[in-house]
């Protein structure tokens, strides 16, 4: 982010529709070559941002700079930005080849150059055999590839993808995720991907921006977001987690000290600290809990009892009741061997303070 002229600079962008605020003061730099995902529930402002970048909406305030040039008021046809639409928006009266050539023709390319470029891109996306077909004669996955080919053909500086995997079935989606990521690497294009699917975001992105109610919640790598969520919203939106709600005690050696169910726990500090005695919550991922017969020497530890086990194939999910009267529940993922070792006797559950993120609510 120290790049003097990033490929895309989003500067104080807001969008209001009447009284509804779709986007509130978003500022962001995207360097060339990144796979950036905008993640969030519907109405979080991710699609609005995408449509502003594509030129389909004008922001209420703020600017969009592309390669240092202000494009905020440029119509879509003037921008070096192409989009893969959610419904693909392939032109039904044109063949696959004609669909792909459309953007090239409008760039004013010569006949031979168009043919060369479109067959190059069709070969790249393994569409050579479908050039003469019409979109209606293709399967969902093939249509998705044609939409991608059509958007990549004019060689855009930025490619926008609006939930392009939503219409595919679950099995195909996994495969296309890998494909998309590898296409992005091989073309070295900047991808701006919008989705509400956290799994999609985690598998493909170099960087995820989590949006909520028109605001940016967190901006980071998938690992950062998953293991060091900055807010309760991010922790709950990405994967499953144990949320421990306790009371703030203070800080000690860069760590937060908090009380939870009569036990003192330590965790990583958030950006802003809650005051002493204030309620505070913390997130521990299910796979970060360890099981011990004796109280572990270091780290956080609580005593509990396994009350339910669920077999998930590659691993087991355990439900643990904490405290004498089972005041709190924890969930954990363990391998099958560990789960066999753990009976119904009381057991010590431990985790590294580095794996517990104290959250801003």
18 touching other proteins, by CB under 8 A:
no
56 touching other proteins, by CB under 8 A:
yes
* Helix or strand holding residue 225 (H, E): helix 222-227
For residue 37, give the 3-state DSSP assignment. strand
Output the smallest distance, CB 23 to other proteins, in A.
19
Output the smallest distance, CB 151 to other proteins, in A.
8
Among 27, 41, 91, 139, binds other proteins (CB under 8 A): 91
Among 3, 68, 69, 106, binds other proteins (CB under 8 A): 106
Instruction: For 305-335, give one letter per residue: b (16+ CB within 10 A) or e.
Output: bbeebeeeeebbbbebbbeeeeebebbbbbe
Residue closer to other proteins by CB (options 107, 341) is: 107
CA 283 vs CA 79, 186, 223, 230, 353: distances in Å: 42, 37, 14, 10, 11
> x/- string (CB under 8 A) for other proteins, residues 208-247?
----------------------------------------
Which tokens is 338 given? 């560990």
Output the smallest distance, CB 169 to other proteins, in A.
21
Residue closer to other proteins by CB (options 107, 185) is: 107
The residue count for the chain: 361
92 touching other proteins, by CB under 8 A:
yes
Output the smallest distance, CB 115 to other proteins, in A.
17
Residue closer to other proteins by CB (options 10, 81) is: 81
> x/- string (CB under 8 A) for other proteins, residues 182-201?
--------------------
CA 293 vs CA 103, 157, 236, 248, 321: distances in Å: 66, 57, 30, 29, 16
48 close to 192: Cβ distance less than 8 angstroms: no
Instruction: For 113-129, give one letter per residue: b (16+ CB within 10 A) or e.
Output: ebeebbeebbebbebee
312 touching other proteins, by CB under 8 A:
no
46 touching other proteins, by CB under 8 A:
no
For residue 234, give the 3-state DSSP assignment. helix
Output the smallest distance, CB 355 to other proteins, in A.
44
176 touching other proteins, by CB under 8 A:
no
Residue closer to other proteins by CB (options 149, 356) is: 149
Among 41, 76, 166, 277, binds other proteins (CB under 8 A): 76
164 touching other proteins, by CB under 8 A:
no
Eight-state DSSP code of residue 26: E
Distance CA 149, CA 212 (A): 31
Could you count the other beta carbons within 10 Å of the beta carbon of residue 254?
Answer: 9
117 close to 105: Cβ distance less than 8 angstroms: no
Which tokens is 143 given? 């249509």
Among 70-78, 123-131, 183-191, 327-335, the segment contacting other proteins (CB under 8 A):
70-78
Which tokens is 207 given? 């960087």
Among 89, 167, 273, 317, binds other proteins (CB under 8 A): 89
Distance CA 184, CA 34 (A): 8
Residue closer to other proteins by CB (options 6, 103) is: 103
85 touching other proteins, by CB under 8 A:
yes
* Helix or strand holding residue 152 (H, E): helix 140-152
Q: How many residues bind other proteins (CB under 8 A)?
A: 26
Positions in the binding site for other proteins (CB under 8 A): 54-56, 75-77, 81-83, 85-87, 89-93, 102-103, 106-107, 134, 136, 150-151, 154
């Amino acid at each position: 982010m120290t790049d003097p002229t990033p490929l895309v600079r989003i500067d104080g962008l807001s969008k209001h529709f009447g009284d509804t605020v779709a986007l509130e003061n978003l500022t962001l730099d995207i360097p060339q070559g990144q796979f950036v995902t905008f993640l969030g529930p519907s109405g979080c402002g991710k699609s609005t941002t995408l449509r502003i970048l594509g030129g389909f909406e004008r922001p209420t305030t703020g600017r969009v700079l592309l390669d240092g040039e202000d494009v905020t008021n440029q119509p879509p046809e003037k921008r070096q930005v192409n989009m893969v639409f959610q419904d693909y928006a392939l032109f039904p009266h044109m063949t696959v080849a004609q669909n792909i050539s459309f953007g090239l023709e409008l760039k004013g390319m010569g006949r031979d150059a168009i043919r060369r470029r479109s067959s190059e891109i069709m070969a790249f996306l393994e569409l050579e055999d479908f050039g003469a077909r019409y979109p209606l004669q293709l399967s969902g996955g093939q249509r998705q590839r044609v939409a991608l080919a059509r958007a990549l053909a004019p060689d855009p500086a930025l490619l926008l993808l609006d939930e392009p995997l939503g219409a595919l079935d679950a099995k195909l989606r996994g495969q296309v995720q890998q494909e998309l990521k590898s296409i992005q690497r091989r073309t070295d294009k900047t991808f701006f991907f919008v989705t509400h699917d956290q799994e999609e975001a985690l598998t493909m992105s170099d960087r995820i921006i989590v949006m909520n109610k028109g605001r940016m919640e967190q901006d980071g790598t998938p690992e950062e977001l998953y293991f060091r969520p900055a807010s309760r919203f991010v922790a709950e939106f990405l994967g499953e987690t144990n949320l421990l709600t306790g009371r703030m005690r203070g800080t000690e050696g860069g760590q937060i000290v908090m009380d939870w169910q009569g036990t003192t726990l330590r965790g990583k500090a958030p950006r802003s600290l809650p005051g002493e005695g204030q309620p505070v919550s913390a997130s521990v991922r299910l796979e970060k809990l360890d099981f011990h017969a004796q109280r572990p020497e270091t780290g956080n530890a609580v005593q509990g009892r396994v009350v339910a086990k669920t077999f998930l194939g590659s691993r087991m999910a355990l439900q643990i009741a904490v405290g004498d009267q089972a005041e709190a529940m924890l969930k954990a993922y363990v391998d099958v061997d560990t789960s066999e070792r753990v009976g119904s006797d009381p057991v010590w559950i431990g985790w590294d303070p580095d794996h517990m993120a104290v959250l801003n609510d």
